Chains A and B, each alone.
Chain A
Amino acid sequence: MRKFSALIVFLFLFVVGFSGIAMSKEAPKYIKVGTLYASSGPFAKPSTAEFKGLNFWVHYVNSKGGVYVKAFHKRIPVKLVAYDDQSSTATATTLYNQLITQDHVNILVADFGSVLTSVAVPLAKVHKILLFDVTGTGSKFFTPDNPYIVLCSLPTSGRWPYTLADFIISEKINRIAIVYSSNDFDQSQAVTLHNKLKKAGVDIVYYHAVPSNTSNYSIILHNIKAKNPNAVIEFGYPNNDIAFLQNLESSGLKFNMVFTVFPGQLFKLLKANVGVKALSYGYTYPTPPLLRYNKVNLGMGIDKFEKEFEKYSGKTPNFLNIAGYNVGLIIQKTLETSKKFNQLAFRKAIAGFSGKAFTLDGLFKVNKEGAQIGEMLPVAQFVPRGQGLKMNIVYPPSMKTAKAVYPAP
């Protein structure tokens, strides 16, 4: 009990001490960047990966003496304040509030994904602090009356299948089967794709939702086969994609085209779980590092980033590491260009470089509501090469590296 009260007193002093610093008008000693991550629970894997990317950015800018803050005309080191929300939204609410009201962070960065971002949106709005949303693509977050949110690393999920739909239409593939997990992220993609294809007169022969924790697709695959489609599109979370591809391989069924979401984002994870053969001739949305953006005007290009990140963490980066780093870059650019050191000035600065900044994650462009519209996700196909896989971008024509192998052999 004594220890506990000591802890409270300590925390109290800590808070008072830091709020004192934040209150002062002069340049702060540190730029405090506050964020949450999940070390356990369903979002732990992507969340920690994203967090690591952000950590890398902090490490990197601090090794250069900090980030340049235009409002104070000097470089200021970055200090990361991060708490563990255990994938729980209730805990996340408390901890976001901790960051805002106790730690008085200068920059607020959301945790991974829509669910853990959701609780931060109204909090940020009411406390008038700009929320740097990393991958929370939920459509409900972006409203005209809320200037306090910017989506940094992915387009809102409803926009994801735009190129996929165009690809299917341009290849004149008919008879499409769509199976999706019933959550915000996957359903919005399925709805977009369904509507776009319907409009173009493409036959959709199977269109069903399955629960998000579906772990066996054998029967579903069999039912899909009974409709004899040319292309099977599966929208799911990583778990769903893994189970789907595993079941597809062991079932011995063949389709001309199979599309899944996550091989393009978590290639190594998917490859380790389902193997090379199950991914061969499959389609996905490629994201960096599979997409190689080296012509950038903000931060490192992908080649350099991979090298530096490996030095830092001993691991090759995945997409979520890049998303975490990318949000750091947006913060950096914001501070570099914002004339004043306040939240609305930050938002204004972002509007200023939106559409002009090009990072290893692609073009950064947000609309008035803060939603990402610059990045778009091409369509790629994996083809076997030697023992491994090669990824070809097959659509849109402007980025195309090879013609799609359709139908799959």
Chain B
Amino acid sequence: MLSYALIGGIMYGLYFGLVGMGLNLIFGVMRMINLAHGDFIMLGAFLTYWLYYLFGFNPLIVIPISIVVFLVFGFLMYYVFVPKLLHSKDPEMLSFILFFGVSQVIEAIIILFFGNNQISVPSTIFAKLFNVSTFTLFGNTFPISWLVVSVACIVAFVLIYVYFFYTKLGYATRAIMANRHEALVSGIDVNKVSAIAFGVGIAAASLAGVMGFFMIGAAFPSMGTDLTTISFTIIVLGALGNPLGTVIGGLIYGVAIMLMQTYFSSWTNVLPYLLLIFVILIKPEGLLGKAVRNV
């Protein structure tokens, strides 16, 4: 039972690393809390469902589509909202309520167009595609969809890593994360680089939506709020403002949830929050964060 919970928790945690990734990226670059983060995950799920039922697309095909669609969407959204916000007295707090408004609007629009339903793509879709329904790891049997999701998450993390450390754009992004003002002075097109990062953040969220059916069950219009809260937990557990730290946060979250489900199932929900408070009090910059903040 223990090894099952641990291995399952790691796979579950990889997925939750992806769930928190976009929120952390946007926070890192813009110092803004995207309260609509969970709603973009929801949008990704609805896009997947829609393409599956209209054209029979496999979620694996939806991945590139959703990345492109939401990258562009996020890029444009940045220019509509963020420059104006940054000029205000307290952008960190104002963004908080702005994105609350965005989240309300997204949920309302989805309900107006798609109705208020739970939706799913079949959980066995990968089993049919690869013609195996389960796989075995160290004597424990898991659904094949978990493997697919885990691999997709790892690929996403590698791509984000490459974007950060092996491209000029990533270099500029990191410069902005370190200090927005200095980056501006040193001639980086801060707005454009931030807009791309914003797009990547939204795209990562939508990707979590595409994969969500296989890890967190059916999707529905009001699922966003819960996911945003969980994402907060994860990014603080990992490292606030450091996107790759999110992976660690996700893994801690995933393993903790699975262990709790195994041994104290009714307390499952409390643990991540207690863990979070504990971590934040002893090491507020997150487990992986550098001690740069003056607290």
Contacts and interface: CB of A to CB of B under 8 A. Distances in A.
Interface of B is mostly: helix
Contacts of A246: 120, 123, 217-218
A246 B212 CA distance: 13
Interface in A200-248: 208-211, 213-216, 218-220, 222-223, 226, 238-239, 242-243, 246-247
A6 interface: no
Contacts of B118: 45, 238-239, 242, 269, 273
A22 to B, nearest CB: 33
A87 B143 CA distance: 35
Interface stretch (A35-43, A108-116, A142-150, A361-369): A35-43
Given A210-B268, A219-B8, A273-B120, A226 B1 contact: yes
A39 B104 CA distance: 13
B4 A222 contact: yes
A209 B216 CA distance: 18
B133 interface: yes
Contacts of B183: none
Contacts of B144: 250
A252 B143 CA distance: 7
A27 interface: no
B179 interface: no
B217 A215 contact: yes
Interface stretch (B91-99, B257-265, B282-290): B257-265
Nearest to B145: A250
Which interface residue of A179, A247, A277 has the most chain B CB atoms within 10 A?
Answer: A247
A205 to B, nearest CB: 14
B8 A218 contact: yes
B5 interface: yes
Interface in A273-311: 273-275, 277-278
Given A39-B116, A250-B143, 10 more contacts: A45-B118, A210-B261, A210-B266, A211-B269, A218-B142, A222-B8, A223-B1, A243-B218, A246-B218, A275-B122
Contact of A45 (B116, B142, B226): B116
Which interface residue of B9, B217, B218 has the most chain A CB atoms within 10 A?
Answer: B217
Contact of A210 (B1, B123, B134, B265): B265
A214 B12 CA distance: 13
Interface string B1-44: 10011001100100000000000000000000000000000000
Contact of B4 (A182, A209, A219): A219
A245 to B, nearest CB: 9
Interface in A4-50: 39-42, 44-45, 48
23 contacts: A39-B111, A39-B116, A40-B116, A42-B222, A45-B116, A87-B222, A182-B266, A210-B265, A214-B261, A216-B217, A218-B142, A219-B4, A219-B9, A222-B8, A223-B1, A239-B118, A239-B220, A243-B216, A246-B120, A249-B124, A250-B123, A250-B134, A273-B119
B127 interface: yes
Given A45-B117, A252-B141, A239 B217 contact: yes
B154 interface: no
Nearest to A273: B120
A216 B143 contact: no
A287 B10 CA distance: 40
A274 B120 contact: yes
A272 interface: yes
Interface in B184-218: 214-218
B134 A251 contact: yes
Q: Which 4 A-B pairs have the closest CB atoms?
A: A243-B217, A250-B143, A209-B266, A273-B120
A243 B144 CA distance: 16
Given A209-B266, A216-B217, A222-B4, A242 B111 contact: no
A330 B215 CA distance: 43
A134 to B, nearest CB: 18
B221 interface: yes
Contact of A220 (B12, B120, B265): B265
A44 B143 contact: no
A216 B268 contact: no
B143 A214 contact: no
B222 A40 contact: yes
B82 interface: no
Contacts of A45: 116-118, 220
Interface residues on A, range: 35 or more
Contacts of B4: 219, 222
Given A218-B8, A218-B142, A252-B134, A242 B217 contact: yes
A210 B217 CA distance: 15
A209 B265 contact: yes
Contacts of A220: 261, 265
A209 B12 CA distance: 21
B169 interface: no
A88 to B, nearest CB: 12
B59 to A, nearest CB: 14
A278 B127 CA distance: 14
A218 B226 contact: no
Contacts of B108: 40
Contacts of A219: 4-5, 8-9, 258, 261-262
Contacts of B215: 216
Nearest to B222: A41
A223 B12 CA distance: 16
Contacts of B214: 250
Interface in B73-131: 107-108, 111, 116-120, 122-124, 127
Interface string A175-206: 00001001000000000000000000000000
Interface string A79-108: 000000001000000000000000000000
Interface string B252-279: 0000001001100110110000000000
A4 B108 CA distance: 23
A274 B123 contact: yes
Nearest to B268: A211
A250 B133 contact: yes
Contacts of B266: 182, 208-211
Contacts of B217: 215-216, 239, 242-243, 246-247
A189 to B, nearest CB: 16
Which interface residue of A39, A48, A272 has the most chain B CB atoms within 10 A?
Answer: A272
Contacts of B268: 210-211, 214
